[in-house]
Amino acid sequence: MPEFRKLTHLLDHLLATAYQHRDEHQKETLKGGLTIELYITPKPAIVHLKLSRRGIPPSAKEAETVFKHWPWEMEGGPPSQLNAYKNADEYGLTCQFPLSDVRNHWIGDAP
C-alpha cells in the first residue's frame, strides 16, 4: 500500500479499493496502533467500518477524527451509534451505514 500523509487520502484509497472489490476487507494500521478496516457489500451497498487496537480501546475522539476526514460528505452525517466490542486483547468500535452515491468520486464504476 502506498504511504499517505493525510488521513483523508488513506481513507479515500481504502474506500476506492473496497468500492472496486466488494466484500474484500481493506485494512491499514496507523502509527498510534489504531487499525482502520472496512469493506463494502455489493447490494445493498453498505459500508462496514471497524476501528480497533490491541490492548487499549479506540476513543470516541479517534472515531470522530476518522469521520471528520471522510473523503465525501455523508448523507445524514456520520453514524450516531458505534458498537464497542472486546475480543481477547483487541478492542474495537464498529458501525455500518449506506454508501452514498459516490460513483462520480472515483474514475470508473464498480463491477
Q: Bridge-partner residues for 94, per DSSP? A: 50, 83
Asked whether residue 2 is assigned to any structural domain, the reply reads no
CA 90 from centroid of its chain's CA atoms = 17
Asked whether residue 1 is assigned to any structural domain, the reply reads no
> Which domain, by its residues, includes 79?
7-98
Asked whether residue 32 is assigned to any structural domain, the reply reads yes
What is the pTM for the complete model shown? 0.87
Asked whether residue 93 is assigned to any structural domain, the reply reads yes
Asked whether residue 13 is assigned to any structural domain, the reply reads yes
Q: How high is the pLDDT of residue 100?
A: 78
Asked whether residue 75 is assigned to any structural domain, the reply reads yes
Asked whether residue 70 is assigned to any structural domain, the reply reads yes
Over residues 19-76, the pLDDT tens digits come to: 999 999 999 999 999 999 999 998 888 999 999 999 999 999 999 999 999 998 888 8
Asked whether residue 106 is assigned to any structural domain, the reply reads no
Number of domains making up the chain: 1
